[in-house]
Structure 1
């Protein structure tokens, strides 16, 4: 947007929402920074993990992290009168009774010890009397203990049952509530979605946004309700929904069976509230239009790298230096979120077949459980010396950081969302001039076959993955050459952000 655009002059306020702590979410950071650079007054609201409000800036955009108080899981927030009538009700009652029982037992233990110590100076009759006097207390505590243990076991059984949600009662209940409540069933299946409302809603109202940009499905309802409140006061407020993935096709983050149903219903409940919809790929755009009956095809804003930011002056970190490797050592890299369905285990299994090749994982939690498991498996296979687990760098540093590697890996497994998207690391590898080894998922596999920028292997097959890596390492020049043909011109954040900014302008110009 030109600096003298009328919407710049009056500094229309854009408030962006995201469920996470912002750091590590490159799409959200780039959206905020580029919108602020284009002249809007931008505030990005995310979730604080510290329990305190945190503030900083990304370029000219303000970032504000707000504490979100987490309550009961939906499946543990109601009493199981029919399923487990003896179970304790939700809340602290069970823990209180168990603490009370431990206290009683400690008191009985003290009384028995005192009797043993003092009994030496008493006659047999006196000892008998004191033992008899203690007997009712001992019997009472023993009986109470059996009762409390029984109720605690019933509570544990109820919790396990509700996590599984596989009984006939659960199936009937699900059908009943879906038929009665329709898309509003999320309010019963996952009322924790309201926790974002109670945390972010008051902050949003104070900011008086002209446009709210809600990132992903959990923020859609928060943004829609805030926009409605602004309009109810006679104020202008537009809502942009940024769908990062196709929700029905994702692997659920939460294992509880009702969670995914709740998120899908919540998204359907508020999708029609959006004045504009953007997403990350053409296939997802078509699915969103069809599944939500949208009047227009969502605008595609691919999560391409911010090439201009990558050229900031000053030293840039190097992945080879971080791994302590010279230029002659073959180095393959995976950069991104860490999860089993992303095929990271397959990478470790392939290493024994790639003699002398080192592998770097650049992930958000290098000390997390899965990273530790992957390192342990590498040790079992005798390749731990060739595995390097590194933390994220700043989003603008990713491309230069990766550029000294030899191959970029995308070994994701077959899930619907994996089939649909051109994900962030695809573009980052391309701008780092890395040949790509990708699994045979539909969109990315098809793109690599079309462009010739890498090799495609069978998802979940470490042997085929190793073959693909070897093929590139044997002669990387043809793969790199395809990336110098103008292919990357459209794969920049500057080009993609202009589509987003055009949507902002069009919506705000309508008043």
Structure 2
């Protein structure tokens, strides 16, 4: 042990708020004795706040290269109206990127040949879209574009903008260890570390892969190829690789030919935390005390399969559903789900409820009867245990899950709930009925030993040990550590909420 405090920089390509993994990572490192800075994205100007002992820095991304790219695409595709850009995953970008991809594929074609080529591309695109929004039973996505056919610096220059915006800030903050989260930050960190080492600084970094990049739909086939190429270019430069499940660790090791299997740190709740004052979900949603309540908590998109849950409700006449989400009820996926509930005559049993602070989630959900994840089959969902499942377990809720490989195996092995066929409302309804009838037995299988293993206090020890190995020294934990319930505050000490 030493009183020297290595400086850990945790970097993430989002606005930090709501990213429970990076917030818990920063607090755990501070509690382990590290000097911690958390770096994320701001909307318009640089912001600095504090999360107890953790320094929080947010900077806006400057889209110099990408704006030029968009202007060029408008010229190539003949678009006259501006294309709004709000981030690398926005649907507005898909049209511009598809236009460029079409032009490359159609270059050189003339007359009837050009029309035939365009018809072929449209047909391929339609088939691909139907595959993605259908019953969801596919386990493999066959991309139309190989990573060898793209150049990320040319074909998705927002990644260059990320490097040029965040790289100098990383160098300015002068860390000893960088914890790089998600694929967007892998190149940002690698290039910044390379420059710092060239300048004589001894700095190490780790790549924390939150998802299987090769299995994620990044909006277009070409863009998905870009992200696969981007990760492959930089992953071998990391001093260590960490991920969220054993299954994903094996996939990354095999896919990239890594010298060592990535370490696994599951994204799980903090177990021992003060949740006094946390509201009850049943009260917030307005569900009667004697009504069976199934909860889905988290991000909403078609692949999460919540539509299947609503379609099952006519077969579950007494069951209520609570959707814990920040989504707009008048638009997007949530709007479609609520419209479906109205059409099916079950709208009075579908409720929405807001998020609470990450450390409060299990206590918030505990008044429900069942926690559900009805995800459709897709490669990006097969290889990890969704964060919401440990949250349900810490709330002592039996689980109902679709037959996605990793979570289905977990539920069957541990006996904590029921499994149904993904995308099948009848199978889902049967599983919910069985889970409600077998609540007592399932809850008995949610043991203290299981919850200790699936706790952040346990899982984050791997990070603390890895930081010490990379930094070459282990600091002394503080006598008065940052509380897990820490609230972000501004320079004047007043609480702030950054959206």
Superposition TM-score, scaled by structure 2 size:
0.80
In the alignment, structure 1 residue 13 sits paired with structure 2 residue 7: yes
Match of 1:52 among 26, 29, 45: 45
Match of 1:213? Answer: 179
Match of 1:301? Answer: 265
CA distance in 2, matches of 1:159, 1:219: 21
Question: 1:404 Cα shift?
Answer: 0.8
SS in 2 for 1:486: helix
SS in 2 for 1:258: helix
Question: 1:19 Cα shift?
Answer: 1.0
Question: 1:431 Cα shift?
Answer: 1.0
Question: 1:347 Cα shift?
Answer: 1.2
Match of 2:246? Answer: 282
**Using a 3 Å threshold, how does the CA distance of structure 1 residues 292 and 349 change in structure 2: closer, same or farther?**
same
Match of 2:209? Answer: 243
Question: 1:73 Cα shift?
Answer: 6.9
- Is residue 370–residue 399 contact of structure 2 (8 Å, CA) maintained in 1? yes
Match of 2:230 among 266, 271, 288: 266
- Summarize the alignment of residues 287-436 of structure 1 with structure 2, pairs less than 5 Å apart: 287-309=251-273, 312=274, 314-367=276-329, 368-436=331-399
Unmatched 5+ stretches in structure 2: 83-94, 110-116, 118-144, 475-499
- Is residue 300–residue 333 contact of structure 2 (8 Å, CA) maintained in 1? yes
CA distance in 2, matches of 1:318, 1:374: 23
**Using a 3 Å threshold, how does the CA distance of structure 1 residues 434 and 164 change in structure 2: closer, same or farther?**
farther
- Is residue 271–residue 451 contact of structure 2 (8 Å, CA) maintained in 1? no
SS in 2 for 1:429: helix
Superposition TM-score, scaled by structure 1 size:
0.78
Match of 2:157 among 174, 179, 191: 191
SS in 1 for 2:258: coil
- Deviation readout 1:316-375 (Å, 9 max, x if unpaired): 121111112232111100111111001011111111211121101112324452112211
Question: 1:188 Cα shift?
Answer: 1.5
Question: 1:222 Cα shift?
Answer: 0.6
CA distance in 2, matches of 1:389, 1:410: 16
| Structure index of larger Rg | 1
Query: When the two structures are aligned, how many residues end up with a matched partner?
Result: 426
CA distance in 2, matches of 1:471, 1:215: 39
CA distance in 1, matches of 2:379, 2:243: 15
Unmatched 5+ stretches in structure 1: 89-93, 97-156, 173-177
- Deviation readout 1:246-300 (Å, 9 max, x if unpaired): 1111232x2x331111111111111111001100011111111122221111100
| Aligned-residue CA RMSD (Å) | 2.7
Match of 1:225 among 191, 194, 202: 191
Match of 2:487? Answer: none
Match of 2:472? Answer: 509
CA distance in 2, matches of 1:167, 1:47: 35
